[in-house]
Structure 1
């Protein structure tokens, strides 16, 4: 994993160890999810659906993350790649590394992000632009 990202995760995990800094429904995996959102937003993928050009950082997280946010946002902004495909691979690897730290019940947000990012990766692979998003549960398709 990228050294800058590791540093951000380490600092925020230490910060959120103090329960007074946590918000209701806090899960340690939230930190990886929100850093993933920050990466996603920084990379501004052109093949993201128009209403998913950015991923929402929840108010609970933003209001609880301390004075670190602006500094970390600058750190993330300094991570650049030659093209979107390289950034996408980086984000996919980040998600996989993050998921390996947690148990299945703790992965809800990371898996949501992974589903969206992998669908976007398929659009890059097939060189198609998104026209609409199919919100049908793929497990229910026949």
Structure 2
């Protein structure tokens, strides 16, 4: 009986792997790659962000934050201090009451650049690159 369960789980796992389409993370090189959130041009942050391009590419990451394949906002993230330098969002007007009991979301590509670009529910207590 146990081997039948194992065989079914293995078969299901193989099918899932075959049907999963890999996606590229939305870690960007320039703010212009995630346009529509800044009024005119990106802010000048000396020694961090100049002319829309990141100076310290190993430390600072431009993330076009995506949920359910819709770009929600852009963030310049400091991986050393684990904080956003800034985020920009396009306000689209009041949509009613704020939903309750929505789980906290994280950017999976900060932990692993090969991960999906969509924000995920926070599933653990400690992350290497999240505050």
TM-score normalised per structure 2:
0.26
Higher helix share: 1
**Larger Rg computed on CA atoms:** 2
TM-score normalised per structure 1:
0.25
Higher strand share: 2
